Structure 1
């Protein structure tokens, strides 16, 4: 059996893939797991929200 180093997610958890979408003057991060970040005026902040979510997932 291969040694597990804790870096790989368990096989039964869904993979998290984030995207950003725009609606009017706002940008929002979304994930395939159903998570949605707050609406932001700055695209960079929405991307940062997505990166933080992927890090916590």
Structure 2
């Protein structure tokens, strides 16, 4: 998980997500440090990212 120095946390609602591929797995990651589970389906990883930004 990404650790940011104190005082540099993203503002509420300032989540930038991406999907990172490693081998045959994909996982969603966010600028806030959140990481979703590894998925074989890239579409499912994208849905994880959307669900995270909607929370």
Q: TM-score range by the shorter chain?
A: 0.7 to 0.9
Q: Kindly report structure 1 stretches of 4+ aligned residues shifted beyond 2 Å.
A: none
So what's the TM-score if we normalise by structure 2? 0.77
Q: Structure 1, unaligned stretches of length 5 or more?
A: 1-11
So what's the TM-score if we normalise by structure 1? 0.74
Summarize the alignment of residues 25-44 of structure 1 with structure 2, pairs less than 5 Å apart: 25-44=24-43
Which has the higher Rg, Structure 1 or Structure 2? 1
Q: CA RMSD in A?
A: 1.2
Alpha-carbon distance change, 14 to 55 in structure 1, aligned in 2, over 3 angstroms: closer
In 2: Cα distance, 1:52 partner to 1:13 partner: 15
Q: Structure 2, unaligned stretches of length 5 or more?
A: 1-10
Higher relative contact order (CA 8 A, sep 6+): 2
